[in-house]
Every structure is written in structure tokens, then in C-alpha cells.
Structure 1
Amino acid sequence: MTATLHLLMLLLLPALTWAKSLPLPADHTQMLPGPYMFVWKDPNGQADFKQVSTLPDSAWQAVGRRDASFGYGGNAYWLRLDVHNPHDRSLDWILVIGNPLLDQLDAYGLDGERIYRAGDQRPFAWRWLEHRQLLLPLRVEPGEQQRIWLRMQTAGSANLSASLMTHVTFNHQEQLNLLLQGLFFGALIAMLIYNLSIFCITRDRNYLWYSLFVASFSLYQFIQLGFAQQWLWPNALAWQQLSFPFMSALATLFGIHFTYGVLELDKAPKAYRWTTQALKACCWLVLGMALFGPYTPALFGSFALLIACAPVAFIITLLRWREGYTAARLFALGWFVLITASLASIFTGTGLLPYSLLTLHAQQMGGLIEMTVFSIALAARIRQAQQAKRQAQAKLIEQERRLGLEQAKRLELQQQISENLEQRVQERTATLQDTLQQLSQANQRLAELNRHDGLTGLLNRQTLSEELTRACFRAMRSQQPLAVLMLDLDHFKQVNDRHGHLAGDACLRHAAQRIRQRLRSSDWLARFGGEEFVALLDSTDMTGALDLAEQLREDLASNPCPYQQQSIPLSLSIGLHAGTPSTPACGEHWLDLADRALYRAKAGGRNRVACYEEQALDNA
């Protein structure tokens, strides 16, 4: 009886050994071999296949997870998978390793021969199939059972993410994946080109930072999905390993610059600027570690940087939203999506979350949604800037309209004082024409007013100098005489002291009006300063000038200034000089000669006319 039991156990031993074998599908379904795998952790990474194959079953542990993920640590893991073909025909299967960033992956058959060597730290040409992922073709005959040994070692995430499917299923899924990846990268390229175009047009650096962020994020995804090693650097193994944390930190750096600019943190409190400067410094540190330091610290540094920056950006965005920056709500949504997707991707790599299509492509979907939201937010920012510009333009137009009205009123007042200066400014029309044209006209009128004295309406001293030069030039060219009269109100200080300065202003206006009425339209009259006036008389010799000066003196003396039911007597002292100038530059000299004659009239007792005759006029 005992011998019979022993014989029965020997017969059942193969069945018990293969009890956990994976039946290969014949249809187009996809199998996850993770739950059927057993794992042995190689503590030193030095064990060979002969040592591993002789391990007792008690040394092996069931994986139990669909994704066969063991987190980070850089250890070597041996995986054992038993498969059998329960069908009556041979089929070709493919074992797809869904983690293109595994450093080393070796496969062994039952005979102990290594049948497959791949990984991103081995030349791309070693792979059996030119594909971004690690593919192990399998062929099991009808009823056959096989055992596959896998050795996995990587400095990154030890996540096998394996699936088993037929060639037909793989080709179908590969077409669908390439379509989705093409749409994904096509959308990123469209965003890149669109925002670069806006930057070239507007020169707004926020669009440049966003374009660089999209470009670096796209290359980061290109590396993570295995396309970079396949198409860009198939033999640059050291750069392939360092490029992943490098591009992650670079995308984070550009994202910080973009967030800083678009949220206008330079106008925010200093705490925002200090925080962003600290994060930028951390980005540069991780970039330096990725280029010059060990891979593992750089990798974990990039993860820590991402975990730190995403919540900080989300919190800053919420705070800016509370502070009244309305566009921040869209950025808050974008950062929330990116945080969720990035954490899902990181936790999947550590094994905290199970492998699935959702977690596998979470960062892609989150990044695409985040960038789409950011693009919408940038467009909203453009719209907000346009609205602010229109409001500013409307405000400016209103200010210009008010300025035009004020200037028109001032012109009207000046023209009431001096009826013969310029044509009266027409009264304001019922409907204003183009505002910019009105402002231009008002500026021209203001320039004309700057030529005149604000109290008397006469020419001011600067304009007198210009007109004196022109008058000398005309007289010299036509050889006609020119006369310069310097007029001064006598005892004007006593008028101010006795009647007040307002009365003195009224006397100045009265004197200017009386003098102007006696002059010809071709003559010029200016207020020289204080109570002094200067008259330029074209085509007037000494005799004519003396005669006019006496008329002006007698007219003012016989017509006192009426002021508040009073009659204030006034008198003039006049000095003059007349002759034919020999050079246009003699005007100031002639003013000096007329002024000397005025002093002579003052010294002679005031209320009189004195002339200055110069024999050597040509040498003036």
C-alpha cells in the first residue's frame, strides 16, 4: 500500500509542478502573466542561471501582482513563468515588457541558454524586434509546456508590466497605440508651433517659456515611451539613462518660468519670488546631478522636484486666484490634473498602484489635458489683455476728450481778450469728430498760445526775438527802414501798491489794448516783461516812429484805465531806434539801443519819448 502511494506521488509530481502554469490564449485576448510568476530577489546581483535554476521552490515567492512591480532599489530579480499550450495547433505569442526604461532584461529557456538580451543599457540592435518596448517572441507547440526564466535589473523602477498576446493581437494593439501616440505628440507639436508663433508676433516671453515647456515635456515623454532610444540615440547608452531625469528637471524648470511669468509673480509679495527662486535652484541642482552625478540620486531628485513643484504651483495658483487674478482658476485646474497624473505615474513605478492602461498613460493624458488647459488660459489671458487694452483706450479717449474741451475753453477765453490775434475758435460742434484729430488740433492751438503772453494776449519775449530776427531780415532784403519802440508804464509799482495787483493787471491789459489799437496790422507788439512793451514797426523811419510814439503816449495819458468804478491815470515813457539794418543778427542790439533811449526818457522826467541815433549802424 505504501509503495503504491509513492508511485502515485511520482506520477502526480509533474502535474503539481506545473499547477501554476499559464495557459496561452488562442484568440485575440491579452493575458497578464504577473499572477502566474514567481520571483527570487538576488541580493548581490551575482547569481547565474545555474544557481538560480537549482533553488528550491521554497525560495521562490509568488508575485501575485498583475504588473510584477518591485519599486526602486537597483536589485536584480529573477522571475519564473510556466506556460503551456492547451490547443491542438501551434501559435506565435509575444511577451511584451511594458517598461522601456528597464536597464537589463535577460531571458533563459529550459536548457539554460540565454535566448534574449535587451534593455535600455544595451545597444538597440541587440533586440530581436526593432520596437520601443522589450518584446520576447514565444512559440509553444500543441500540448507543450515551457518554463521561461527572466532576469531583471535596473536602477529605475523595477516594473515588468508584462503582457502576453498573439502576434495578431499585438499588431492590432500596436496600430492603435501608434495612432494614439501620434495624436498625442501631434497635439503637443501643434501647441508648440501655435505658441511659438504667438511669441514671434507678440514677443511675450510667457509664450516662449510655455513653448519650451511643451518641447521638453514632449521629449521627456518620447524618452519614457522608448521612442528616443529607438530613433534618436540607439547606441548612446549613458545619455539614454541620464536623459530621463535631465528632461524631467528641464521641463520642471521651464514650467516654473512659465508659471512665474503668467501669474505675474514679479508683482506679487516677495514670498512668491523667494519660493520660485528656490525651486529654480533645485532644478539646476538636479540638472547638474543628471549630467555629472550618479543616476539614482538624479532620478529620485527629479521625482522629489516634481512632487514638490506641482503642489507648490497649485497652491500659488489658488492664492493668486484669491488675490483677484481671475485667469488663475484655469491654471489651478491644469496643475491639479498634472499633479494627479504625475503622482499616479510615480506611485505605479514604486508599486503602490497597480499597473493598468490608465496608470500607464496617466502622465500622458494628464500632461495633454494640463497643456490644453494652459493653452486655453493663455488664450483667455490674451482676451483679458485685449479687454484691458480697450478699456485703457476708452479711458484715454475720454481723457483726451476732456483735455480737448478744457483747451477749447481756454482758447475761447484768450480770443475774447484779443479779438485781432487769430481767428476765433469755433464753438464746440454738437458731435465730436475723431478724437485723435481733435487732440492734434488742440495741441496746435496750445502751441500758438505759448507764443503769447497769458495776461495781455500780446506776443511773449521769446516770440518777439523770433519776429525781430525775421523783421531785420525783411528790412535788410527790401532796404526798408525798421523801428523798434521800447515802452514802459511810469510809476507802475505805485499803481500796484495803491490799488492792488489785480488793478495792476487790468492796467497792463488796458495799456496793451490802447497801444495795439494804434498799430498797423503788419506791426508786432509784445510784452517784454513786467510793465514793459516792445513794438516792431516795418517800413517806418525815425520821423514816423517818433510821430507814432507821441500818439501812443498822448492816447494813454488821455485815456485812464477804468477799474471798479475808479479811473487810474497812466503814462508811458518810450525809447526808440530806427534805421535800415545791415544784418539779421542786429535785433538784440537794436533792443539794447531802444532800451538806452528808454532810460534817457525816464531820466528826463518820464511821460516822454526819446530816440537813440547811431551813426555807425552798419557795424551794429
Structure 2
Amino acid sequence: MIAVLRALLLLLMMMPALSQADVMPLPATAQSLLPGPYMDVWEDAEGNARIEDVRDLPDSAWQPVARRDASFGYGGKAYWLRLTLYNPEDRAMDWILLVANPLLDQLEAYGLQADRVFQAGDQYPFDNRWIEHRQLALPLTLAAGEQRQLILRMQTDGSANLSASLMTRERFHHDEQRALLLQGLFFGALAAMFIYNLSIFLITRDRNYLWYSLFVASYSLYQFIQLGFALQWLWPNALAWHQLSFPLSSAVATLFGIVFTYGFLELRQGPPFARWATGLLVACTLLVILLALAGPYSVALIGSFVLVIACAVLACLFTLLRWRDGYQPAKLFALGWFVLITASLFSILSGTGVLPYSQYTLHAQQVGGLIEMVVFSIALAARIRQIQREHQQAHDRLYTNEHQLRLEQARTLDLQKQINSGLEIRVKERTAALEYALSELSTANNKLSESNRRDGLTGLYNRQAFNDAFSRAFAQAERSQRPLAVLMMDLDYFKQVNDQYGHAAGDASLQHAAGRLQQRLRESDILARYGGEEFVAVLCDTDLAGAHDLARHLCADLVDAPCPFEDQRIELSLSIGISAGTPGPELTAERLLRQADQALYRAKHAGRNRVDCYEATALDDA
């Protein structure tokens, strides 16, 4: 009887322990473990509970998490989670509890160390973290056979996703190296997209490339903030700014995406409602930006999510309408939007707790955004190709009309031989009118052909025309075995001119520099705008000494003659690289240009406003 009573008493003592979540063993494994199913949660609606109060809670107050990611959506409430860990190994083990939610405002951990409380999150200074990492990494050491209870307090105005995983320290460092490699490739690809499209804008002055470049830049900043790199590297102590930067960067990226979509799809020529819908979206975006700067964080965050969804839906609608109207680039544009919408939907649903918050959902928007940007770049190239095709079709129509007019002239001349003398005057008048029309068409055709060979801003040869002229000059020099010199010229600090005086002043500076250079060159020389603020000149029958002497005069002339612009005088200078020689098997046209370009690079690197020749050292300063 006494033995039975003892057994019942032992069972009653064990009942509270049996009602708790299972103990999570930590074997020495190379795989990461998910602690969510082993966690209990207690919701602190008021957010005022202390650790002593939480430890005194009855087991009935705790509820099992029952999710692999411990996700509770939005709301700003405080959540307490407890987790019991056990080390079954016969040696001490070092583990890392990694919380893969860099935007978590506050996370407190009790039980990691006996005398310290872990406090981190994006509303604590970055130096508070025990491990310098963009995510929240909690170090944990368990002795052999030790069992320990951890209690975590999580509170955030954003998505309350713990998304925790446990791994050995060795596994943590291994995964971190791979993650940094992938993140470096991702942001490197975004940087390449930005530079590529911005360069095309500087060459073509097509504003669609400017808006797309700004969209890529703002989207990159948005991802840099979302992944935790911004708090680690850019503003580790600017907590208020970091809080508002996430919805702000999302809204700014959305704004540039709207402007880019409007220009790329040419919605000005689309249905009327597309114009006012775009204006409404821009107004809503500006409102979200204002909320991010001055309003409640949660309202700005939800507003940015709603704005992204609305823009995505309307962009798909506009894309399909333009596709139906026969606008060919809309096909690729539709593909890019579909990928981005799908990825963004995964990200938003994981934040609300509908989908599990994991590394896959965290990086889905990265992968989708990268694919979307590549597709958009291809779509921009397709758009340029379509414009070229339309230009060629217009040229073909002009040629057909000219041919038809010539046939009409021939038929008129045949008719002139058959009619009587009384109609001869009228026939001559008609013939004269036709000849005049042909002359006008021929003149227009010549002007069109010449305009295609000239740079629209400076009036100099463009790059294609330069290549043709340079090939002819090089072939002639090779036949006559006469020297040929190439001057690669670049305006110094041209970006500062644009930044200080504006792009109109930059255009005026390019025109001024082109005029000064053209005055100094002979009629037999070739001068062209090679790209941006870069010019190239080919000097026939000129050796290295003569080219160097001319280059020094060009530099001095530009310094002595500033560019007049709106009652201002803009100081300009020039760096020049020279390559000269007699064409032959050892000196090709491509090599001559490359040598001049290398000399220009040395001149720029040596301080600018210099002349450098393709030799071991430059001759002297300009």
C-alpha cells in the first residue's frame, strides 16, 4: 500500500513536466535544427511583463507554437517563448541560435549565460550583439548531459517572425561563407545592372534608362536594409532612421518603378484611364513616403505592402493592354512583372504568417527581383531594336516613294512624245513639278543620311561614322606608308560640371569643347565624339612629335577659353592620350586605338589636364 502511494505521489509531481513541450536534444550533427515545434509561447498583450513574472506563470498559460518558424504576423504585441534544450553528447557543445529576421525590433534572451541577458534587434545599437552578424546570432554552450531552459521575449512593429534555427558553430561559419558569396553575387549583379543602364542613358539620353537605373539603385538599397546589411555597415547607431528606412526605401523603389513603367510602356499613347491611374499611384506613393518619414511605422509598412500589390496588379493590366495593342516589348515586360509579383507575394505572405518564414521565402524576393531586372534590361534592348526597325521601315518607304516618282517621271516623258504641241507646256510644268519634288526628296534623303552620321549635340561624327572614316584613313596610310596619329581626348571632371551647373551646362560645355577642337584641326583630319565626354581625332600624315605638339595646344586652348553659359564661365580642361606610327603588320587600327586609350588612362591617372603618349613615360605635362 505504501509503495502504491509513493508511485501516485511521484506521478503527481511529474504531471507539470509532462504538460510542457518536449525537450529538444542537440546531437552533434552537421544539419541545422528547427526549434519551433519544441517551443511554447505566451502572448503579453500589454507588453509589461518581467522575466520573474514569466517564470512564475503556470504551465496552462503557455501554448505550443506548433509551427516551424514561430510566426505571429503583425500587431506589435510582445511574445514570450520558452525552449528546453538538452545536450546528449559526452562533451561540451557550442551551438548558435540564429534568428533569420534582421528587421526584428527587440529580442531578449534569458538563459544563454548565467549573468548576462542577450538584448539585440534593429532598435538596439549594433554593438549590443554578442556576435557581429547582420542577423541575430545567439551563442550557446551546453556541458555534457546538461539540460537548460531558454526564455525569449520578442516584440516588433513589423512582422513577428522568429524564424529560428539551431546549428553548431562550425555549421554556422560554413553556411555564413556560402551566404556571403551568394549575397555578393546578388548585389554585384545589381551594381552591374545599374552601371550598364546608367551608361546607356548617358549615351542615348533616353530617360527610361535613367528611371530604370534609379529603380535598380533604390531596390538594391531596399534589399540591403531588409537583409540586415544596412544596420551593420551603413548606420549601426541610427536606430530611428533605420526604423523608417525600410518602408521609405520600398516606397521610393515603387515610385521609380511606376515612372519607368509609364515611360517604357508608352502609356501616354495608351488608354486614358492609364494616365490618371498612374497619377493616382504616384500620389499614393508620395503619401507612403510621407508616412514613412513622419507617420506610424506599422501604418507606413502596411501601406508600402498594399502599394506594391496595387502597382503590381495595375502594371500587369497595363502590360496586357499594351500587348493586345501590338506593342512587342510588352511581352518581355509581362514576364518580368510576373516573376517579381510572385516573389513579392511569397515575401508578404511569409511576413503575415500565411507561409513559413524561411531562408527560401526570405530570399524569394531577391531571386525574383534579379530575374525581373535582367528581363527588363532585355526588354529595353528589344525596345531599341523596335525603334531601329521602325526607322528602317520609314527609310524603305521613302525609297519606294522616290522610285515610284521616278517611274511616274518616265511615264510622263513617254506621254509628252504622244501629245500634241498644245499640251506641251502643261506637260513641261508637270515634269518640272515632279523634278522639284524629286529634288526635295533627294535633299531630304541626303540630310537624313548625314544626320545619321552626326552626333546630335556637337555636330561631330558619331562613333559609327568615325569607324568608317578611320578605316579609310588607316588603309590609305598603310598603302602610302605614311605615319598616322590618334588622339583620345576626355573632358576632366565633367560629372562635376553636370552636378554644379546642370545638364544644360554640360551640353553647352560639350558643344564648346567640340567647337574649339574643330577650329584647331585640319580639314583632312577626322574628329568625332567617341562617347559621353570623350572625343577622338585622327591626324593623317602626322608623327608622334607633331601629334604631341598639337595636343598641347589643344589643352592650352581649352583652358584659356572657358565655356560661356548664362552669364557664367565654366572652366574646362582636357586629358589626351596619343598613339602614332606607320600602319603595318605590327600596328593595326585596333591596336592604335587601344594604345591611345591606354595613354589617356595614364594621363587621367597622373592628374588630368595632361598629354600622355604610348611610351614608357609621358613626354611632359600639358
Q: TM-score range by the shorter chain?
A: 0.5 to 0.7
TM-score (normalised: structure 2): 0.65
Q: Gaps (5+ residues) in structure 1?
A: 419-423, 442-620
Q: 1:255-274 to 2 correspondence within 5 Å? A: 255-274=257-276
Q: Secondary structure at the match of 1:115?
A: strand
Q: Which residue of 1 aligns with 2:139?
A: 137
Residue of structure 2 aligned with 1:380, choices 379, 382, 393: 382
**Within the alignment, does 1:92 sit opposite 2:94 as a pair?**
yes
For residues 452-506 of structure 1, give each alpha carbon's deviation from its aligned partner in whole angstroms, at most 9, with x where no partner exists: xxxxxxxxxxxxxxxxxxxxxxxxxxxxxxxxxxxxxxxxxxxxxxxxxxxxxxx
Question: Is this contact kept in 1: 2:100–2:163, CA < 8 A?
Answer: yes
Question: Is this contact kept in 2: 1:107–1:114, CA < 8 A?
Answer: no
**1:8 CA displacement:** 3.0
Q: Secondary structure at the match of 2:166?
A: strand
Q: Secondary structure at the match of 2:236?
A: coil
Q: Bigger CA drift: 246-255 or 5-14? A: 5-14
Q: Which residue of 2 aligns with 1:335?
A: 337
Supply the distance in 2 between the matched residues of 1:100 and 1:383 (Cα, whole angstroms). 43
Q: Which residue of 2 aligns with 1:181?
A: 183
Residue of structure 2 aligned with 1:249, choices 251, 258, 273: 251
**1:213 CA displacement:** 0.8
Q: How many residues align?
A: 432
**1:398 CA displacement:** 2.8
Supply the distance in 2 between the matched residues of 1:122 and 1:411 (Cα, whole angstroms). 92
Letter in 1 for 2:289: L
Supply the distance in 2 between the matched residues of 1:265 and 1:253 (Cα, whole angstroms). 16
Supply the distance in 2 between the matched residues of 1:301 and 1:113 (Cα, whole angstroms). 42
Structure 2 CA distance for partners of 1:84 and 1:18, relative to 1, 3 Å: farther
Supply the distance in 2 between the matched residues of 1:19 and 1:312 (Cα, whole angstroms). 47
Q: Which residue of 2 aligns with 1:313?
A: 315
Q: Secondary structure at the match of 2:33?
A: coil
Q: Secondary structure at the match of 2:94?
A: strand
**Within the alignment, does 1:326 sit opposite 2:331 as a pair?**
no
Supply the distance in 1 between the matched residues of 2:343 and 2:52 (Cα, whole angstroms). 42
Supply the distance in 2 between the matched residues of 1:185 and 1:74 (Cα, whole angstroms). 31
Q: Give the root-mean-square deviation of aligned CA atoms.
A: 3.0
Structure 2 CA distance for partners of 1:354 and 1:251, relative to 1, 3 Å: same
Q: 1:464-479 to 2 correspondence within 5 Å? A: none
**1:271 CA displacement:** 0.7
Supply the distance in 1 between the matched residues of 2:336 and 2:131 (Cα, whole angstroms). 38
Question: Is this contact kept in 2: 1:100–1:226, CA < 8 A?
Answer: yes
Q: Which residue of 2 aligns with 1:299?
A: 301
Q: Secondary structure at the match of 1:285?
A: helix
Residue of structure 1 aligned with 2:70, choices 59, 65, 68: 68
Q: Which residue of 2 aligns with 1:223?
A: 225
Supply the distance in 1 between the matched residues of 2:179 and 2:357 (Cα, whole angstroms). 17
Q: Secondary structure at the match of 2:49?
A: coil
Structure 2 CA distance for partners of 1:342 and 1:247, relative to 1, 3 Å: same
Supply the distance in 1 between the matched residues of 2:353 and 2:340 (Cα, whole angstroms). 20
Structure 2 CA distance for partners of 1:436 and 1:159, relative to 1, 3 Å: same
Question: Is this contact kept in 1: 2:21–2:38, CA < 8 A?
Answer: no
Supply the distance in 1 between the matched residues of 2:11 and 2:444 (Cα, whole angstroms). 110
Supply the distance in 2 between the matched residues of 1:312 and 1:326 (Cα, whole angstroms). 19
Q: Which residue of 1 aligns with 2:278?
A: 276
**Within the alignment, does 1:350 sit opposite 2:374 as a pair?**
no
**1:185 CA displacement:** 1.0
Question: Is this contact kept in 2: 1:49–1:112, CA < 8 A?
Answer: no
Q: Secondary structure at the match of 2:327?
A: coil
Q: Gaps (5+ residues) in structure 2?
A: 426-430, 448-622
Structure 2 CA distance for partners of 1:141 and 1:206, relative to 1, 3 Å: same
Supply the distance in 1 between the matched residues of 2:247 and 2:21 (Cα, whole angstroms). 42
Residue of structure 2 aligned with 1:191, choices 193, 196, 200: 193
Letter in 1 for 2:352: T
**1:372 CA displacement:** 1.4
For residues 218-257 of structure 1, give each alpha carbon's deviation from its aligned partner in whole angstroms, at most 9, with x where no partner exists: 1100000000111111111011010100111111111111
Q: Which residue of 1 aligns with 2:22?
A: 20
Supply the distance in 1 between the matched residues of 2:329 and 2:444 (Cα, whole angstroms). 37
Supply the distance in 2 between the matched residues of 1:280 and 1:14 (Cα, whole angstroms). 58
Supply the distance in 2 between the matched residues of 1:99 and 1:212 (Cα, whole angstroms). 27
Letter in 1 for 2:311: C
Question: Is this contact kept in 2: 1:263–1:317, CA < 8 A?
Answer: yes
Letter in 2 for 1:284: L
**1:293 CA displacement:** 1.2
Letter in 2 for 1:213: F
TM-score (normalised: structure 1): 0.65
Supply the distance in 2 between the matched residues of 1:168 and 1:125 (Cα, whole angstroms). 23
**Within the alignment, does 1:124 sit opposite 2:126 as a pair?**
yes
Supply the distance in 2 between the matched residues of 1:87 and 1:14 (Cα, whole angstroms). 26
Supply the distance in 2 between the matched residues of 1:331 and 1:123 (Cα, whole angstroms). 42
**1:310 CA displacement:** 0.6
Question: Is this contact kept in 1: 2:96–2:137, CA < 8 A?
Answer: yes
**1:25 CA displacement:** 2.8
Supply the distance in 2 between the matched residues of 1:285 and 1:18 (Cα, whole angstroms). 48
Supply the distance in 2 between the matched residues of 1:400 and 1:200 (Cα, whole angstroms). 36
Supply the distance in 2 between the matched residues of 1:11 and 1:46 (Cα, whole angstroms). 31
**Within the alignment, does 1:58 sit opposite 2:60 as a pair?**
yes
Question: Is this contact kept in 1: 2:112–2:140, CA < 8 A?
Answer: no
Supply the distance in 1 between the matched residues of 2:71 and 2:47 (Cα, whole angstroms). 18
**1:7 CA displacement:** 4.7
Structure 2 CA distance for partners of 1:436 and 1:91, relative to 1, 3 Å: farther
**1:396 CA displacement:** 2.4
Q: Which residue of 1 aligns with 2:208?
A: 206
**1:34 CA displacement:** 0.7
For residues 280-336 of structure 1, give each alpha carbon's deviation from its aligned partner in whole angstroms, at most 9, with x where no partner exists: 110000001111111111111101101111111111111111121122121111111
**Within the alignment, does 1:40 sit opposite 2:42 as a pair?**
yes
Q: Secondary structure at the match of 1:109?
A: strand
Q: Percent identity?
A: 65
Q: Secondary structure at the match of 1:361?
A: helix
**1:156 CA displacement:** 0.2
Q: Which residue of 1 aligns with 2:103?
A: 101
For residues 187-210 of structure 1, give each alpha carbon's deviation from its aligned partner in whole angstroms, at most 9, with x where no partner exists: 111111111111111111111111
Question: Is this contact kept in 1: 2:159–2:351, CA < 8 A?
Answer: yes
Question: Is this contact kept in 1: 2:81–2:152, CA < 8 A?
Answer: yes
**1:3 CA displacement:** 3.0
Question: Is this contact kept in 1: 2:112–2:139, CA < 8 A?
Answer: no
Q: Secondary structure at the match of 2:91?
A: coil
Question: Is this contact kept in 2: 1:106–1:114, CA < 8 A?
Answer: no
Q: Bigger CA drift: 68-77 or 320-329? A: 320-329
Supply the distance in 1 between the matched residues of 2:80 and 2:73 (Cα, whole angstroms). 15
Q: Secondary structure at the match of 2:41?
A: strand
**1:16 CA displacement:** 3.6
Q: Which residue of 2 aligns with 1:570?
A: none
Question: Is this contact kept in 1: 2:112–2:118, CA < 8 A?
Answer: no
Q: Which residue of 1 aligns with 2:151?
A: 149
Structure 2 CA distance for partners of 1:107 and 1:317, relative to 1, 3 Å: same
**1:91 CA displacement:** 1.4
Larger radius of gyration: 1
Question: Is this contact kept in 2: 1:29–1:169, CA < 8 A?
Answer: yes
Supply the distance in 2 between the matched residues of 1:189 and 1:364 (Cα, whole angstroms). 14
Letter in 1 for 2:34: L
